[in-house]
Each structure stands twice: as C-alpha cells, then as structure tokens.
Amino acid sequence: MLLIALTGLPMGGGKGGSDFDPKGKSDGEVLRFCQSFMTELSRYLGADTDVPAGDIGVGGREVGFLFGQWKRLTSLHTGVLTGKGLLWGGSNIRPEATGYGLVYIVDIALKHHKDTIKGKRVAISGKGNVAEFAAEKVLQLGGIVVSLSDSDGMICGGRKWIQLEQFTEVRKIEARRGRIKEYLKFSKTAKYYENDRPWKHVKCDIALPSATQNEINKSEAEALVKNGCKYVAEGANMPSDPEAIAVFKSGCKFFIPAKASNAGGVAVSGLEMSQNSQRTQWTREEVDNKLHGIMQNIFNNISSTADDLGKAGDYQLGANAAGFKKVADAMFEQGMVL
C-alpha cells in the first residue's frame, strides 16, 4: 500500500498468491493450475475492483493463461490483469518496468549526490525480469554489471564479462527457463559459484538485490560495504533483512528501500490499466518517459520528506513517512477516521 501511494497513481494495494511451484512443471501443468486458480479467483476480480499482476513465478505465460480463463468464464475482455501480452491489451515497457525503474531512481539519486552511474560496478542478484532489465539499463547508461544469479548459484566477472551486445544470451536463457550457469558457454572470464549469492564474492560500487525476500543478511551486507559498495537500492520486495539495512544505512552513502526503488512495475501496471480504460496503447517512448517521471517524483518525495523530518538522505524514513502520509490523508478526507 505504501509503495503504491508513492507512485501517485489512484490505486490501492495488496499481496496474494499460491504455493504452486512452477519449477520443473510442464506447460500443460502450469496451464491447468492457472485455469483452476482463475476459476476460483474470478469472482473477486474486476477492472475497478481488483486487478492482479505478475510476480515471482508469474510471468507473461502465466498471465496469458489466467487471462484466457478469465475471458472464458466471463466473456469479458477488460483490464482485469496487468502484464498482458501486447497483442491483447498489454503495455509497452511492462516486463522491463521494475528493472528500468530501479536503475532510473538510482541514477536520479546519484545525480542528487553529485555522482553518476557511468563506470560504476553494479552487483545484481537474480535473473528474472527485474534483474535482467536492471542489468540491461545499467549497461545502457554506461555502468558495469559484475554479477547475476538464480536459485542454483551466482555468476560474476570483471569489467568485460558481459556486454550489452552479449545480453541476448542471458535473455535466451531466461526465455527457456534455463539456469544462469549456462552463460559460462558465452563468457571466458565469468566465474560460477554454486548454491551461493553474489554479496561476498564481488567488489562493487552499487548493489541491486533483485532476487527474493531476505536474500542479504548482516554478514553479507558487511562484506559488500568492506568491498567498496557505496550505494544500495532494492529491486526485489524486502531483499535486505533489518540487520543488513542497518549496515547499509551506516556504511553506504544511500540506501533506497523496495517500496520506493521497485515501484516501477506497479507504476506501469497502473499505466496499463489507464490504457485499457482508454482502449489505446502508448508507444515505448511514451511509457518509458512516464515511468522515468514517476521515479523522479518518488525520489523527490522521499528526499524532501526526509529533509523535512531533519534526516536528510535517510530514504527509508522518507519513503515510510511519505507513503504513510498519503494513505493517512486519504483516510481522513474520506471519513474513514476522525
């Protein structure tokens, strides 16, 4: 809820899902689960009621299966899911949105601190949409990606182990749901660590944890700071545990929490809903510009709120306070509390 409040878009917020693990399942098994899940969920959904989006384990394939069952049950073609395919109501930049937005807010914050992403070593965990497109945007802006990972292990290298022109290989691996270890075929300098995460193995200037919840603990945070990490922004939902956050806030120049830094995905979900309501589709450039503007507004909001509270640069406090204030103000104005 606080994350969505920071975007400035007129939406609520909630979390839900299932305990179905798609790893190792056939397309048919995933299809049958999605159809069964939507059969039960459909009674609670609507374009102006509740609009689910993808997350861990739920990408374009799963959203397609869910939307197909929704149409089959309701005979409606409405904006009841986001992350849809471009041929059937989806938005440009939606798959890229969380990763791009993450890097945009880091770039904005770096400029605020009189620095630049160009030439910076960036450690990224994960290889899903968030990590993949964060890495792509880092490379586009002149940064250096030093790591990626998945649930089996992590891969890392020096300045030239992965370049923008080679990134199609990472895309192919992800598209066929392969493992990050496969990238060793395409890089002579990459190193692979099985059943491990990047944080104790890489020297970096920026860390973007983008895999899963609680993936960085205190000792890993301390290792990052010791190895030169100055800036941290969360791409996954709550990837740093409380002790790790304390290390980052005391040892880095800035720490941006997930509720601000990974808001790009839900922001473009909101833009997808707007396009569905208007029966239109904006260009990549239009959506990308709107996404950048939203991330700029989020940073301005959390930064100025921290300043107003006498804690300049404490973006965790700024995000919590700014998001809470928007929700509280709305509740007061609508008579929910007096």
Which residues are known to be catalytic? 15
Q: Measured between alpha carbons, how far is residue 263 from residues 47, 53, 97, 270 in Å?
A: 20, 13, 9, 11
Q: Residues 144, 109: contact at Cβ < 8 Å?
A: no
Q: Token pair 């980052």 is at which residue?
A: 248
First to last CA, the chain: 21
d(CA 100, CA 135): 9
Q: Residues 5, 323: contact at Cβ < 8 Å?
A: yes
Beta bridge pairs of residue 206: 122, 231
d(CA 54, CA 238): 17
Residues in the chain: 338
Collapsing DSSP states into helix, strand and coil, what is residue 326? helix
Beta-carbon contacts of 85 under 8 Å, excluding residues fewer than 6 positions away, are: 60, 63, 64
User: What pairing do the DSSP bridges indicate for beta strands 144-150 and 254-256?
Assistant: unpaired
The angle formed by the CA atoms of residues 134, 132 and 241, to the nearest 5 degrees, is: 70
Nearest to 201 by CA among 156, 264, 165: 156
- The token pair at 260 is 């601000």
User: What pairing do the DSSP bridges indicate for beta strands 153-156 and 191-194?
Assistant: antiparallel
- The token pair at 263 is 């808001």
